[in-house]
A = this chain, B = another copy of it.
Amino acid sequence: MRVAIVTVGDELLAGDTVNTNAAWLGERLTERGVDVERVVTLPDRVADIARVVNEYRAAYDAVVVTGGLGPTHDDLTMDGVAAAFGRDVVESQAALEWLAEEGGYAADELAEGTADIPRGARLLKNPEGVAPGCVVGSVYVLPGVPAEMKAMFETVAEEFAGEVAHVTTVVADEPESALLDRFDELRDRFDVTVGSYPGDSVRVKIQGDEDEVETAAAWLRERVDLAVEGDGGE
């Protein structure tokens, strides 16, 4: 299963907010065996949201959109997603009922647009807030407030599934350039993918079938200077 994550918000583009939502979703989806193929951040503009959601829903098995929900003038994600499907947004009876039952809000107390989702979309209730999410086709629309996004994602997490790769990390206390010969031999000898992430030490991430990964990691651990804090095995 190949998925794209779309995060909406001028504050993300301007660097006012670090995109921790994308990292959290990437981690949760990867844990479930899903390949996250793209993360994109878009401005609060209907045309941009519509165009990119439309492109990504054609290219990937599912699209997770987060941010820009709510009744404020700069909350344009529902409009953008609706436009990507050539639909309008309509007040959702299911959302109104949920807001009345679980929030105690009467329809006339709610700000205009609070219960609007694209026509025909499946409602996603918000366990931590008032803004509803939804699913349209393969596009999941979640709030941007992290606690709300996480709680709502968990209500649909089981709809995301794939083959979970086994991962082990070896942390080497050598310059990355010195390790290149061993990376090449590791990739020749074993059927694994190898990622190398330099920092103060080099994290070597080995992925694939469990037995193969553990054999490869053991081989590598005997051939590098391991970082002091341990071998970082996960």
Query: What 1/0 mask marks residues of chain A from 32 to 45 whose CB sits below 8 Å from any chain B CB?
Result: 00001111111110
A42 to B12, CA, bound (A): 17
B43 touches A40 (CB 8 A): no
The 3 closest A-B pairs by CB, nearest first: A15-B26, A15-B27, A39-B41
Give the Cβ gap from A168 to chain B, nearest Cβ, in Å. Answer: 13
Q: Is the pair A22, B25 in contact by a Cβ cutoff of 8 Å?
A: no
Q: Is A194 an interface residue (CB 8 A)?
A: yes
Q: Which residues of A contact B (CB under 8 A)?
A: 10-20, 22-28, 30, 36-44, 48, 70-74, 110-112, 114, 130, 145, 176-177, 180, 183-184, 187, 194-199, 205
Binding site secondary structure of chain A: mixed
Q: How many copies does the complex hold?
A: 2
CB distance from A183 to the nearest CB of B (A): 6
Contact check: which of B14, B27, B110 meets A14 at CB < 8 Å?
B27
**Pick from B11, B48, B130: contact of A205, CB under 8 Å:** B11
Can you sample 5 A-B contacts with CB below 8 Å? A14-B27, A15-B22, A15-B30, A19-B19, A38-B42
Q: Are B22 and A19 in contact (CB under 8 A)?
A: yes
